[in-house]
Structure 1
């Protein structure tokens, strides 16, 4: 790979392919994939193009400022030949400028004369590209929001289920302070905003926070505030801090939880089920995550019928299957650590006769599956099983029950003890006051166990999983029950 500095913060990247086919190109800045990366790059004839192969990214698709230039990029190379159309609708007519780079990508800039919510539609051959239309909030200039400063924000070294905290100085500004956090999986949660007293010591306050769907809102009359959140996943989190409805400078802030070694550029999907299928028959494909590190894997299928996603862990990663009940096009989106892997979304063409699904003509249904992948061990054994002493370091556990639980609802997870020797599996859940009332452990075959537990009270619980007398990797887990 050859890099050339073109000045003005622009770089040229060149590489010489050695073979035909689809290549994955990862471009990172400060160990983070840039928007759109990893890129799919086909050497030779492009097959299976279309609107689903067009990507768009950039700040101008998320937020913008009135009477300022807002920008984003569109990548059309892998889509093949076709027409691109861009439309922006909102409170006022936006001025749009389009620049074709002649390399399969183009730059788009626009200026909105009035604040408000705008809708950016991008179509390829009269078909919306993935995630289009985009809802963009165009705000007024920063105003008092530019006065706010962030302090004591630790950008890495955090742990799952351990509180993260930083402080905000409003520097005399008065208004509404609010914050939220976006996890690698895309899940959003509120941050707790609390007034702080003189000397940066926390104090109780009689001011009542006002909550909406995503933000914890605080009316600002003090100078210093503490903002807290509890991460539930490993990976990169984005913390949004707003003042009077406007992001403060540099918001959102990047915070790394755990080891940020999750690399979507090293995840690959293969199998005929990504491209074609038949109604009533399983569409199956493999997701290879062996070299991708630890991170959240999310699979979504959009199509004419709702499907049941079956996700099974295998040696290479995960084998996923679904059975469509109606013919048509199904879009399979695969994200790792919140980023599309190369080639995603995939279009699966399903033929055959449709079953009665009681759905209207032209309606679409979405099905999703979510897995938190732990870091794989580098240890390799020459034999399938080790019948010696129990080795807890080689036991693996996965499932939503390790991340979250809800009062009076069953939480489940799976424990895999293959290649970990002979041992006894012990599971315990202890709460703020009492132990968990119900914990069921069932051997489901092949040295794998299904664990279910139910808690009756809210609060922070400790989940312990031991193989023999040793904790397995990740144990103990700290789970907030709501």
Structure 2
């Protein structure tokens, strides 16, 4: 692989958190032939991007967040190229810490310390007055240095400091050089004259600091305080006796103030200091959430741009809930946290140790998956009438946390009145016919069942063509138009003398229907029409029947719907002899149909009887004494109930979920189809799919068995009534105890109570963070409940959904967080010295969600430790040992020891020598090993090193 080469700055010294590049020259190789792996010091792989510059030339870009040595492997067709692996050194100039730089005196060395222990490898460059003043740097060991220079002139000296060519934080620094040490300064240097310096203070309050000056009078002390606009701040000095003087002052403007003390006209160079004034009242916290949802991120902004400099501290539930801070610049930051438990979350924000206005504030936590919205009783509602529905939850619903939006069919917003009574009750009045969309938000997030659809109707908009009279034996017809009244059930009934009269309903399309009936009685017929149980305008209607004496008339079953294979009868009235009648019956295929005539002497009625064999329309031509009877030929509609086909009625259905089945009557002949669910208590909706093909839909409301009666021309179809057992997903409860966090590769369990409903493994779906399906093992039975077991193999959120009849049960789907304590990495643990902080880092970014427990102890006593979040589950920890003993460092994640825990940290006193270096724990074969020996007592002695 000699012809494949890699070069560029990205293979050498690179800054962290910034894009770096290197190029690969590989003539004859495609981009897919090149393999690259960038490994950080923590052993994790760093993502990269590779682009084709031109054929055989590629550019690689990556960004590393870690300081230290990175290994970069480059392969072509799986073979390593020359120089592989490459070593790049990542540095972070912002991690350089510069100690206090004191003012100085001409010809006297000015010294200050520099801490580069966290910055990585690189070149430290120090220029005093642009290089005109020589400077020296002494290595103190463990990446700590002592810088010094000797000033030769009285002036303000500028100290520039760069690391790998980049300015370190705070550079350039300033140092005031004075002419000489005056007697007062000599007194100060000996520690007899002391000034209590300040670091920061709030505006609008009186502050003070003390000056300890032996053998000095109050009149000899002059204090100068200069503000950010070069204005002088008035101050007052009070003699507290015993050579102590207290200086009082007050400021009103934020910024940096310079303090200088003069005694007997001589400035105290070593006692001059600066302090920063801040105004906590000018910190604003906007968009604070009052109600939050568990598992969802919530954000708010903190604006400290007008408050001055200071330390901003943000804690949620005393630091138990992690929060992330995104710096927006100009003193503003965006804070977010994700609640993981159903307890109030207290957000405390402090600036320089003081609570900012409005803090702490409380966020109530709710679970959106626990909401139940009951609209079952308002799925069909009349316009102009109030409609109410309730929202309930297993947890209390906070006032003003629910927002309900209802949109009409024309897109208008409908006013909603919300009352918080035992949950939440919403009331509205629909003003239009059609579907209304209900959207429900809790804490600005849609609840799981939202949006919902309810339909409104208006029975007053059903139009009926008028009919006032008719005659015996003749069809009486009228039209019902429900096209503008919305969705619903239309019921038509005709009654005469307390008996129901058979009606025929013919769909005309567009929600219009033609209705006809034949009167057999010489009495008024009452027509009652209701829509969704409400009478339409004008109902009931009265149809007067006109008597036709001495005129030949007909009646009988043959004038209506009649079944095959049963005699169809046509009764002829007012005929003296059957010999005067001349009937002829033609079948649907044009064939002549045989018949019989029989006269009833008592009633004077002559009956024409025939036996239809196939469904269809039969024509009955009838003449009396050679003259056609009015209405002839008569139509007789014959049907075959056995040819009705009912398909797709499930034996098990789910309460609240729509059920649709198909009824096919295309070969059954003419007639009226009637579907009744639970004796009409459950509405059903038909939809025509074609000629004599219908889709019937209904929604079960309760858990009792639902009986579906299907009739054709008033006769039950084969198999009717059909019975469906109802499953109630709302009665299934899940016990998630112990599922908040589970370890990978261990069996997790939860239980389900179904109250008699059967489950199988197909009812349970478990998806890992990469959408990989996990196998659920189910044990139990419907009466005693089930236990579900699964084993997570990946770190992250696992979604679990349990469905009954295709619908998720309450509180599903829900999330289970899987973690792996073995993925917690601890680095930079070194030996230390009594009285000096020992730092180390913890990286839990790949371990998942969990609680980190850090305990430092010595001789059985706990040592306080301090944890600083660096974001993305990374932490910087330090503790300050007070005794020269081995300290035990215990780190646990979700109660499990992390790899390597407990750690032993050697602590010596300040007079002992310290040996340090990462190669003392692990080293590579064939490479040099470097470590440092620091002699604390500054004695010159021979250092012997023995390696065995």
Smaller-chain TM-score bracket: 0.3 to 0.5
Higher relative contact order (CA 8 A, sep 6+): 1
Rg (Cα) greater in structure: 2
